Structure 1
Amino acid sequence: MKLAGLLPAVLGDPALARVRDRARGAGPESDGLDLTAPAALRPFVVAAVASEQGAQRPVLAVTATSREADDLAAALGSLIPADRVAVFPAWETLPHERLSPRSDTVGRRLAVLRRLAHPEGSPLRVVVAPVRSVLQPLLKRLGDLEPVELRPGAEAALEDVARRLTDMAYARVDLVTKRGEYAVRGGILDVFPPTDEHPSRVEFWGDEVEEIRTFAVADQRTIEAVQHLWAPPCRELLLTPEVRQRAAELALKHPELDEILEKLAEGIPVEGMESLAPALLDGTDSMELLLHTMPAGTHVLLSDPERIRTRAHDLVRTSDEFLEASWAAAAVGARPRSTSAPPPSRPWQRYAVPQPTWGCPGGRCPRSA
């Protein structure tokens, strides 16, 4: 249901009109605003800042939980164009766990970062993120990772496309059944992008894409023809030659981690390899926060700041407890294989500690209801 027609009437309220006017301002007095209002008003507050009828500013809306983020994004889709709103989901795992996030979660995150880094066409106006995803460091330049894009009639060599999918952490299988898999049979490529509801079947005629169709996993039958395939990477840490070389070097220095590092050195993705990202790249210099990827002039709106603060401190405390436990296990000679593994060097992949002095791009970070 579209409710965009309500915005002009709602913005007639003096309090919301003040929010809009403060968001439009460029002076230091626009840097902070505390607004007390019912929870149901939150979508209207965000729309007052982001919409064309409002201040027309990019917004990062932070919530305490993932469910609240999904609910807020769904409500915003009825007030402003839904394609201008995106949820930036959090990993289902702790940053240092020997478990990797699901490929569909990674795909959604990379899709948002790609649109933030390359806003041509329809730039995002609102990114809704649970505090867990705001605190977790990201590898820099994830938004510059190029997806595989195919259209009927386009020139593309099947072998090159398959090689790119492998480099992007897709698993080559005989029959595609899960997201993040692809299969090649003659001149046909089946691929299941992590952001799609159904896999796609791409038919090649030589080096030309002849047809693209989605199909059902259960019986492999065609669903419908489509005009575009967009397949982002399945992992946030890709096994580039530089990463593989660094993994081989670390395996010699840290034999307690050779189970993971030797596979990474051979180009084989393993569960939990993301926990070693700082060690495999340039330490904390290779990391950034979601805040740093937002465009200049972004306004940060905190939905229930006290709950967000409590949730943030709980996340940091839990993460540190699990991390210290894994280090203690390693110190007595244990080699945790299925839960957490100590990284080979500090600083490690972990949540950022929330600071009251954190700023946001453009220097304007009003707080929300």
Structure 2
Amino acid sequence: MTLREALDLFVGSETFERLLLAKDRPIQARAETGEAFVVAGLAVALDAPVLAVAPGPHEADALLEDLEAFLPGDVALLPAWEALPYEGISPAPDVAARRAAAVRRLREHRGATVLVAPALAAMQGLIPTLGTVPPLDLIAGRNLPPDRLAEQLVELGYLRVDVVEHRGEFAVRGGVLDVFPGVARRPVRLEYWGDEIESVREFAASTQLSTSRLTQVEVGPVRELIPDDGVRERAAEQARRHTDRFADLLQRVADGLHPEGMETAAPFLFDHLPSPAELLPEGSWVVLTQARRTLDRAAAAYEEAEALADALAWPAARALRDLPDAVAGHVQLQLSEFTEGLDLQLRSWGSAQGNPTEVVQRVSDLQARGYRSIVTGRGHGSLERAREVVGATPVETAEASLSNGFVFAPAKLAVATEEDLFGSRRHTRTAPRFTRRRSDSIAEELEPGDFAVHRIHGVGRYAGIVHRALAGAERDYLVLEYAQNDKLYVPSDAVGMVVKYLGGDVPRVHRMGGTDWARATAKVKRAVRDMAGELVRLYTVRMSLPGRAFGPDLPWQRELEDAFPHEETPDQLRVIDEVKQDMERPFPMDRLLCGDVGFGKTEVAVRAAFKAVMDGTQVAVLVPTTLLAEQHFMTFSERFAPYPVTVKMLSRFVHPAAQKEVIEDAALGRADVVIGTHRLLGRDVRFKDLGLLIVDEEQRFGVSHKEQLKKLRAHVDVLT
């Protein structure tokens, strides 16, 4: 039985029928767990789109993952902006692209589909043209001159750069055009023969090297507001009616420019901004998951937005509505884990969760009573582990990203996930575009009179923090003073936009709305580009040196990686893939891996070391302190324990006789991985076949040690 078949059992139950026939508005229902199961069931039963509202972005991401298990390919996420719609900050290119793709899908799809949105996104009015601009379909053999394609990309919001590194960028170099689509995992490279696209390849942004060939790629807009002649005329008309910054912003839009925060001008340019619920067809439902939290979070966000709009004397229509008003016009279902409303009889595994023995025993007991059971795992390794735990118990298995299972008595159905069996995993979500800091923390960095830098407006003078109560909401504002007596009030939740000026010279205070800051940032970008060019030249020289090309991953490599007890972050997965690619090339790798403590750098090193050992070479792990040596020795030994890999440690804490033995084992090839301090760089230490050197915290080694490391870099792969 598949998860979709389980969904059909739920839809055909009397419990679900009572839900569809309920007359209360809004409908309140209890789901102790399995909210995604209920939402997916509604979409299938109604054969229509359903809007699922979550309290915040993290909850929306989790709900999206669960829904994909039941409705693969029929779920979309409408992310919220990272700032309130009055703050003058444009959404990031990837956010704008995902929003445009989600709305376009909602406009075009009328079957069973689910649009997931955090409360803030469900409350915000949408630009009426969002989702109406079709993506560019780029395919090999298409006749589309690169200069014409560049013009179209600019119209869609893409920024032309010299080297493509981030979503929303493109570059043209002769007969090659690189572009990073807003919703793509990697950028793509179009190679031209005249005006015809000859090939389409995916490439790694970090190395700029092609990785795989594609048949086609869709490039959607990365800007929500794409002005046409009518919009520009309306902007010019509105600019004459307003003053100060609103007039300046509207005039720039009228002039055909794309200023930061231009999307906030939408209420001036359109008569009505529809909410996401207004795009739903007749007969669709709106579901509030974790209803109490969602309503509370929405009310707080609405109050804060109203206070900000009042403080700014916002002259146009409000871009944010309270949640009940934003979802009005459709049947609303409020799901809660508390005992209220219609009981959907979805029960969690309760105290058994995280105890595999107890969960398996309960599954066996339920099957003896005629229940059908499904066990899910997020990946191949997790599913194999779950099968081993379940043992001889006859259950169905499915590879699916489902967080929590449930027991549904009316249909005699039980679903257990790997989290139910082994406990919750650590989930890492996408980082916000701007780091949010507490206003009191930045106040400790800045003193009144200090120079500060705002990301959009440039250098100003910090004047302190003011506390204001507006529309019943109290809020702190950082005050920055600019030239010509301009003042900028930065809300406390947007202080990530402000940093202390750290330059040596006394800066010149910029003028708000001027071009000084743009010129200064452009100068820095040119300097960085020159530095990048020098690094490319140096790297080209290194590529000419011969090195060892490691083979592809072996089955044990996958088994080791599947046994990792945490969920890898997107950055980890990207770096692991890039390190492996470097190791498989026929020239020495020299890769620098940066990251804060606890962000998973050691796991990257573990996998690289295992790959080298599986290819028949030795690995040296160099660390600056004996404490780090012991920590890495324990980590590597634990991860490599199930495999025939010998891990040794060499430091001053190791007995001299044992040191001699380790050195001998390294020379004879009996030690696969040797972890040590600067003792590893001793003249008496030799390796039979050293293939990989891993250096932890290289900045803490002395000059003489670094000179020895330089010699090694010419011959073996190095991961720092």
Task: Give the TM-score taking structure 2 as reference length.
Answer: 0.44
Question: 2:284: which partner in 1?
Answer: 298
Question: 2:18: which partner in 1?
Answer: 18
1:136 aligned to which of 98, 115, 124? 124
1:75 has 2:63 as partner: no
1:220 aligned to which of 208, 228, 233? 208
Cα distance, 1:365 vs structure 2: 3.5
Alignment of 1:1-369 (within 5 A): 3-11=3-11, 14-19=14-19, 21-22=20-21, 29=23, 32-38=26-32, 40-51=33-44, 54-80=45-71, 82-119=72-109, 125-257=113-245, 259-279=248-268, 281-282=269-270, 285-327=271-313, 342=314, 345-348=315-318, 350-355=319-324, 359-360=328-329, 363-369=330-336
- CA displacement, residues 159-218 of structure 1 (integer Å, 9 cap, x when unaligned): 221111111121111221211111112222111111111111112223322111111111
Supply the AA of the counterpart residue of 1:201.
R
Q: Which runs of 5+ in 2 are unaligned?
A: 337-720
How many Å separate the matches in 2 of 1:230 and 1:115?
14
- CA displacement, residues 49-106 of structure 1 (integer Å, 9 cap, x when unaligned): 123xx443421111111211111111111122x2101111111110111211111011
How many Å separate the matches in 2 of 1:31 and 1:313?
19
Structure 1 residues 9 and 104, CA gap change in structure 2 (3 angstroms) = same
Supply the AA of the counterpart residue of 1:217.
A
Whether the 8 Å contact between 1:96 and 1:274 is mirrored in structure 2 is no
Structure 1 residues 97 and 215, CA gap change in structure 2 (3 angstroms) = same
How many Å separate the matches in 2 of 1:110 and 1:100?
14
- CA displacement, residues 323-343 of structure 1 (integer Å, 9 cap, x when unaligned): 22223xxxxxxxxxxxxxx5x
Structure 1 residues 11 and 166, CA gap change in structure 2 (3 angstroms) = closer
Whether the 8 Å contact between 1:236 and 1:274 is mirrored in structure 2 is yes
Structure 1 residues 22 and 367, CA gap change in structure 2 (3 angstroms) = farther
Whether the 8 Å contact between 2:46 and 2:112 is mirrored in structure 1 is no
Structure 1 residues 266 and 12, CA gap change in structure 2 (3 angstroms) = closer
Whether the 8 Å contact between 2:130 and 2:224 is mirrored in structure 1 is yes
- CA displacement, residues 12-47 of structure 1 (integer Å, 9 cap, x when unaligned): 75423433x539xxxxx4865321120x22122112
How many Å separate the matches in 1 of 2:205 and 2:184?
12
| Other structure's SS at 1:138 match | coil
Structure 1 window deviating more from structure 2 (239-248 vs 127-136): it is: 239-248
Structure 1 residues 141 and 253, CA gap change in structure 2 (3 angstroms) = closer
How many Å separate the matches in 2 of 1:326 and 1:193?
35
Structure 1 window deviating more from structure 2 (154-163 vs 93-102): it is: 154-163
Whether the 8 Å contact between 2:106 and 2:115 is mirrored in structure 1 is no
- CA displacement, residues 263-314 of structure 1 (integer Å, 9 cap, x when unaligned): 33332212111111121x23xx241110111233211111132222211211
How many Å separate the matches in 1 of 2:133 and 2:235?
21
Q: Which runs of 5+ in 1 are unaligned?
A: 24-28, 328-341
Structure 1 residues 269 and 357, CA gap change in structure 2 (3 angstroms) = closer
Over the matched positions of the two proteins, sequence identity in percent amounts to 34
Cα distance, 1:352 vs structure 2: 1.0
Cα distance, 1:241 vs structure 2: 2.9
Supply the AA of the counterpart residue of 1:35.
A
Structure 1 residues 11 and 139, CA gap change in structure 2 (3 angstroms) = closer
Structure 1 window deviating more from structure 2 (61-70 vs 265-274): it is: 265-274
Question: 1:332: which partner in 2?
Answer: none
Supply the AA of the counterpart residue of 1:49.
L
How many Å separate the matches in 1 of 2:16 and 2:34?
10
Task: Count residues with an aligned counterpart.
Answer: 335
How many Å separate the matches in 2 of 1:300 and 1:141?
23
Whether the 8 Å contact between 2:76 and 2:116 is mirrored in structure 1 is yes
Question: 2:508: which partner in 1?
Answer: none
How many Å separate the matches in 1 of 2:187 and 2:105?
22
Structure 1 residues 357 and 167, CA gap change in structure 2 (3 angstroms) = closer
How many Å separate the matches in 2 of 1:124 and 1:66?
23
How many Å separate the matches in 2 of 1:137 and 1:8?
35
Whether the 8 Å contact between 1:148 and 1:232 is mirrored in structure 2 is yes
Task: Give the TM-score taking structure 1 as reference length.
Answer: 0.82
Cα distance, 1:134 vs structure 2: 0.8
- CA displacement, residues 205-249 of structure 1 (integer Å, 9 cap, x when unaligned): 233221111111112100111112211111111233333344444
| Other structure's SS at 2:184 match | coil
Supply the AA of the counterpart residue of 1:266.
D
- Select the structure with the greater relative contact order (CA < 8 A; seq sep ≥ 6): 1
Structure 1 residues 249 and 56, CA gap change in structure 2 (3 angstroms) = closer
How many Å separate the matches in 2 of 1:62 and 1:115?
17
Supply the AA of the counterpart residue of 2:216.
H
Structure with the largest fraction of strand: 2
Root-mean-square deviation (Å): 2.6
How many Å separate the matches in 2 of 1:180 and 1:216?
15
- Larger Rg, first or second structure (1 or 2): 2
